[in-house]
């Protein structure tokens, strides 16, 4: 292993730059454009949807429109204290057959199993309405086509499900409550291994049936999952106690998710919103506090994801609040169909683990590209910028071993063309932790106009092309560790570090010294 160390003081950095001063990013100026907590999330949602702006071609999504006809579930036999599944479904089916309208769930507690949305129907939960979902497998049979962590199967699907429908909505100020943690569904879930090891990728999808019959196992159902649908609106509702991922459009086109609130802290794999091989999506003014990642982009997993080959693309996330959760906004780790054209702006991550998180694995395929993040405020327990592309041996075996580099195959993923600007990091563990794949390093990253206070500086491993421009980082750690990293540039970076020194440590044959341009370093204690 080749290891080189360099210790740069103020004089060295200024000699490299040929410039004696620079203007660090202004906290005061940034405060005027980067939102604070009170300006985002469900509590701040306006009545109207503002025009959508994005750095790529993006349609102006409109709310689906519904006929004036309304039908309360009490008119089809729903009674509090009794299972209302049939009455709720009867109301949805009747409104659908009449050509559309709104099914009303009035205030009260209504017990139910799986509900299937139908075209031209808005399922509306009035304020004070609560749908409490059963934990019994029989209430979610027969099995339906679904995707479990990026692999197609027939299983329980979702507590609220739709397939092949158009012009559908779930709205209102009511609440959805998932089953208890000790329910039958949880006790009989498939567990102990990753999903691709359960499913033969060459097997016909209609033979991948996990419906729980005759004591068999099931895949956990998602909470709300419209699948292969067009023109979808999910607005205003609160979700609690999900069995698995919360809101998951799969294979959909034209989706609006706004003003929702999710509580799933303490629930393993309790993701907030997962966009799964879906295009033309607006997510706004939503508040997520989750047991896993908060806002998540996915596109299928491994060989099965490549077979389907449907990207998640043209997605705008704006004015949202991420509270507890592993990641504020995450791409992956299911990336087979590609995640592209994502624009996240004017959001706050307050108490989240990581901030901008990019995950994949050597066997996941695809990757992410053309990802843009602007005007974000973070208060984190983990890293503001993290690329995790190798994963753990627990889940992917020897594929997690970094070296030697492997041959590139259709299953080799990439992350490239990523821009992040106008960001305030109020706290975090390590400013950047980038761990790419040796054969497909992290490529073409631009980080600009950032102020950050973190506990550690950065690790740049298997990175080819990263520019930090007009950045101020305050940190009690001075180490920039570069492992086979190259084409790394610090342009007008203001380091506030112990003893006014930056230490770079380079390892690997491909590692190159970073370029410092017009940088300034200041003693942390001054």
**pLDDT (tens digit per residue) in 122-168:** 999 999 999 999 999 999 999 999 999 999 999 999 999 999 999 99
Task: Write down the pLDDT at residue 18.
Answer: 36
324-364 pLDDT, tens digit each: 999 999 999 999 999 999 999 999 999 999 999 999 999 99
Torsion angle (degrees, nearest 10) of CA 143, 148, 150, 151: -50
Dist CA 257 CA 280 (whole Å): 11
Regions of the chain where pLDDT drops below 70: 1-2, 6-32, 526
Number of C-beta neighbours around residue 464 at 10 A = 19
Rg of the chain (C-alpha set): 24
CA 382, 387, 390, 392: dihedral to nearest 10 degrees?
Answer: 10
Shortest CA distance to 233 belongs to which of 49, 64, 51, 41? 64
- Domains annotated for the chain, with CATH where assigned, are 3-133+158-175+220-523 (2.160.20.10)
CB 18 within 8 A of CB 513: no
Whole-number Å distance between alpha carbons of 154 and 199: 11
User: Pick from 47, 48, 60, 34: which is nearest to 319 by CA?
Assistant: 34
* Pairwise CA distance, residues 254 & 17, whole Å: 48
Ordered alpha helix ranges (H), 148-260? 184-187, 195-198
Give the span between the Cα atoms of 239 and 261, in whole angstroms: 6
From CA 113, how far away is CA 70, in angstroms rounded?
Answer: 22
Q: Are 224 and 250 in contact (CB under 8 A)?
A: no
Give the number of other CB atoms < 10 A from CB of residue 104: 19
Spatial neighbors of 459 by CB under 8 A, at least 6 apart, are 430, 432, 433, 434, 435, 481, 483
Q: Left (φ > 0), alpha (ψ -120 to 50) or beta: where does 462 sit? A: left
Residue 381 is classified by DSSP as S
Cα–chain center distance at 450: 22
Q: What is the pLDDT of residue 30?
A: 53
3-state helix/strand/coil string of 30-77: HHCCCCCHHHCCHHHCCCCCCCCCCCCCCCCCCCCCCCCCEEEHHHHC
- Pure H helices in 341-413: 393-396
- Nearest CA to 286 out of 352, 348, 224, 372 is that of 348
d(C-alpha 332, C-alpha 81), whole Å: 41
- Give CA angle at 117 (116, 123), nearest 5°: 120
Coil, helix or strand at residue 23:
coil
């Amino acid at each position: 292993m080749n290891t080189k160390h360099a210790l740069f003081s103020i004089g060295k950095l200024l000699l490299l730059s040929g410039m004696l001063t620079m203007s660090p990013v202004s906290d005061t100026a940034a405060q005027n454009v980067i939102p604070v907590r009170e300006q985002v999330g469900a509590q701040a949602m306006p009545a109207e949807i503002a025009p959508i702006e994005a750095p790529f071609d993006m349609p102006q999504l409109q709310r689906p429109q519904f006929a004036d006809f309304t039908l309360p579930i009490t008119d089809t036999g729903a009674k509090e204290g009794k299972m209302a599944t049939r009455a709720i479904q009867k109301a949805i089916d009747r409104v659908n057959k009449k050509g559309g309208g709104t099914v009303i769930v009035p205030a009260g507690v209504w017990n139910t199993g799986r509900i299937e949305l139908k075209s031209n129907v808005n399922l509306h939960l009035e304020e004070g309405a609560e749908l409490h979902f059963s934990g019994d497998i029989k209430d979610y049979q027969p099995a339906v086509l679904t995707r479990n962590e990026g692999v197609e199967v027939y299983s329980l699907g979702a507590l609220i499900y739709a397939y092949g429908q158009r012009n559908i909505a779930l709205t209102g100020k009511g609440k959805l409550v998932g089953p208890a943690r000790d329910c039958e569904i949880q006790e009989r879930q498939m567990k102990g291994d990753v999903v691709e090891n359960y499913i033969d990728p060459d097997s016909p999808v209609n033979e991948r049936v996990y419906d729980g019959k005759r004591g068999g196992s099931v895949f956990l159902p998602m909470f709300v999952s419209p699948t292969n649908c067009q023109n979808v609106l999910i607005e205003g509702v609160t979700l609690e106690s999900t069995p698995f991922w919360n809101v998951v459009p799969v294979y959909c086109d034209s989706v609006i998710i706004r003003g929702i609130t999710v509580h799933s802290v303490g629930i393993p794999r309790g993701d907030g919103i997962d966009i799964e091989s879906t295009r033309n999506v607006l997510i706004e003014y939503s508040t997520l506090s989750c047991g896993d990642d908060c806002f998540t982009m996915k596109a299928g997993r491994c060989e099965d994801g490549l077979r389907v080959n449907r990207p998640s693309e043209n997605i705008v996330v704006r004015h949202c609040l991420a509270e507890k959760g592993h990641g504020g906004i995450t791409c992956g780790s299911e990336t087979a169909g590609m995640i592209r054209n994502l624009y996240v702006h004017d959001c706050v991550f307050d108490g989240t683990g990581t901030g901008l998180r990019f995950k994949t694995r050597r066997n996941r395929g695809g990757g992410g590209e053309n990802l843009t993040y602007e005007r974000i405020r973070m208060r984190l327990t983990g890293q503001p910028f993290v690329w995790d592309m190798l994963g753990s041996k627990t889940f992917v075996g020897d594929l997690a071993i970094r070296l030697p580099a492997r041959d590139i195959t259709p299953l080799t993923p990439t992350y490239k063309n990523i821009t992040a600007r106008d960001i305030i990091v109020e706290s975090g563990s390590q400013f950047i932790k980038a761990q790419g794949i040796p054969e497909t390093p992290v490529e073409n990253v631009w980080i600009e106009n950032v102020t950050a206070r973190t506990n550690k500086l950065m690790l740049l491993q298997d990175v080819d092309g990263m520019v930090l421009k007009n950045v101020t980082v305050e940190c009690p750690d001075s180490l920039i560790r570069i492992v086979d990293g190259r084409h790394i540039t610090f342009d007008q970076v203001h380091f506030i570090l112990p003893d006014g020194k930056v230490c770079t440590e380079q390892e690997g044959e491909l590692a190159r010294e970073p370029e410092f341009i017009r940088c300034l370093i200041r003693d942390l204690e001054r």
